[in-house]
Amino acid sequence: MTDSTTVSEGPKQADLDRCVHCGLCLNACPTYRELGLEMDSPRGRIYQMVQVKEGAPITPSYIEHIELCLACRACETACPSGVPYGRIVEAARADIEAREPQPWLKRTVRRFVFGHLLQSPRTLSAMGAALYLYEASGLQRLVRASGVLNSLARSARSKPLRLALSPRFSSARSGTLFRLRANGATGSR
């Protein structure tokens, strides 16, 4: 995480200038293929980053388009100009983090997840067990039926991810493959 006092200059102009907007990255980009929006393609995001670099404000729309990037870097392999897109998007995210004040709850959750939860296999296993109990007890169905989670939805186009949890969730099971069944539930192999 970036400290709020850290000054970020955003992506380097030389990296942004390497993009010639040829469009060869479009088919390689999973968010562009899924959403079909130019601003959710690598060249669209680079265009937006150039605008911010030239003084345009960081808007919620800009933040959303940058956050929707999976940072898979598939576009880098398709790019004939060698645009270092991974480095560019990371710099843009650091710039957003440094320039835009984050809500207290978001900062606290991120600090817990990255500073404690993911650092300890024991804590991660305990969280997995708690999530399994949440699902197995029927509490998950009750919460979803109440509609309380609807207000937390990020956008109308987001869909809940349905992954059936195992009662023996642990880091020892990492690497387990999950196959999607026809009814939308999953099972481990």
Domain carrying residue 43: 13-99
Q: Within a domain: residue 33?
A: yes
Determine the pLDDT at residue 80. Answer: 95
> Which of 170, 167, 15, 146 lies closest to 91 in space, CA to CA?
15
What percentage of the chain has pLDDT greater than the value 90? 48
28 in a structural domain: yes
For 42-80, letters b (16+ CB in 10 Å) and e give: bbbbbebbeebbeeeebeeebeebbebbeeebbbbebbe
- As for how many domains the chain has, the answer is 2
Same domain, 86 and 144: no
In a domain, 111, yes or no: no
Domain at 35, CATH number: 1.10.1060.10
Structure confidence at residue 189 as a pLDDT band (50, 70, 90): very low
0.85 surpassed by pTM: no
pLDDT at position 1 is 45
Would you say residue 72 has pLDDT above 70? Answer: yes
Check if the beta carbon of residue 121 is closer than 8 Å to that of residue 171.
yes
Q: Which of 43, 67, 99 is the last residue of a domain?
A: 99
